[in-house]
Amino acid sequence: MKQKNEVFIPVLESLKQIPGAAGEQAALPISRLGTTYTMAQEACWVDYDHFAVGRWDGSFSIFNKTTSATQGAVISTAVTTPSFQGVQMIEWIAINTFITSNDDQSMIVWHSPSGTFTDLRQIQKLQFNAAYGVANSATATSLGSTLYLVTGHEAGYLLLWKGNMDGTGLVLMQDVDLRSSNPVNPWGLQNIRGVEWFLSTGSSYIYVATGSENGEVCIVRIPDGTVLSRTVFNPKAQRGINSISVAGQNLLVGNCSVGTADKNLWYYWIDGNDWSVNLRDSVNLIVDSSRPQVFNFNVTWGWYTQGLCFFSATEEGVLWMGTIENNQKLTIFGEQSAAVADLGAALAASISNLVYVAYNVSAFDTYPGAVIDKNANPNRILLPDQQG
């Protein structure tokens, strides 16, 4: 259709006389070999000035945080995992040290001696039985003078590791079977898409929450691996959990909503007495209500100038922001289009910044002037009573 003020150029019009140029296209005399899918799968802050983005093509890049409204983040290092498989997990474990997934039987620990991440190197390859599957998620924290790493895997298992406080010497302690005999999804998927530390008691125990594509939220005690509770996030769900995020005992769950009655963001309270996971509110983050389903790919707690908030990335290419009122109700501030197409994105929030990554990388300043501890995990969103 001719648009207003559109100019037609005769030489382009003559293309209509070429066989195949109008209507159906003529096949090119070449053979397609394959397509590399470069969409982001995972994002993580590796310190407060750098973040890592893992993509489905097996690469990950370290970006310098931008402070400009006119210039985006700049790649300081680009790396390919040894397996050349998609990077499904990145997790900070110590100063200048983080871990990534590699393949269905290993993970890689990376370290930057200078802290600039331009001299990134592998310092350990963590190997495990291929029956556990690739690592989809992880969390790390310390208990006394020991570092504990907890990784969630494709087949529905948690693996518990311990090592030195600097991220070296990690060894596998045990596995924890979190498979469900009745997963909510129709394909029997058991992937543990989220593992987050949320509480510790002195020098005795660490507590983590997990979220799986089988639909269960589990509370697990570390280091003994005791499963304290298992809760189906929505008994009527037709899809499993894509993402979780914990701030204090406030738990957010992101999933795919199917049909108009379903929701794709759920808010729970974890009871520290009996470890029950109690629903408080839910909403459906959707712009076009005629869609049959909408994925909430990623959800994360964060901070803004007024206090605690959360961000979600949905498959409509939209970034959502909101908060909770009186630890009871979700309040949505609004949404904005953040992607170049209708697709989900990886999110990573620190106390002061947010990155939203699909194909493009978008950075946001969320809490200017925030006080930070450069020795702490930059991804951990602590409540005031958790901050020393």
- Convert the pLDDT of each residue in 33-70 to its tens digit: 766 667 888 999 999 999 999 998 888 999 998 766 65
Rounded CA-CA distance 371/150 in Å is 28
Does 99 or 387 have the greater pLDDT score? 99
The strand pairing partners of 310, in sequence order, are 301, 322
- Convert the pLDDT of each residue in 301-317 to its tens digit: 999 999 999 999 999 99
- Convert the pLDDT of each residue in 76-105 to its tens digit: 788 888 888 999 999 999 999 999 999 999
- Predicted local confidence at residue 70, as pLDDT: 58
- DSSP 3-state assignment of 130? helix
- 18 — pLDDT class (breaks 50, 70, 90): very low
Helix (H) or strand (E) holding 310: strand 307-314
- 384 — pLDDT class (breaks 50, 70, 90): low
Q: In the CATH scheme, what is the code of domain 236-347?
A: 2.130.10.10
Rounded CA-CA distance 102/138 in Å is 13
Beta strands in 69-223 (DSSP E): 74-80, 90-94, 97-103, 106-111, 121-127, 135-143, 146-153, 157-163, 171-177, 192-201, 205-212, 216-222
In the chain, domain spans:
36-127, 132-232, 236-347
- 6 — pLDDT class (breaks 50, 70, 90): very low
Rounded CA-CA distance 291/46 in Å is 36
* Other Cβ atoms closer than 10 A to 284: 16
- Predicted local confidence at residue 71, as pLDDT: 60
Region 104-133 average pLDDT: 96
Residue type, 311: F
| Residue 79, CA atoms < 13 Å, CB-side half-sphere | 29
Rounded CA-CA distance 353/236 in Å is 35
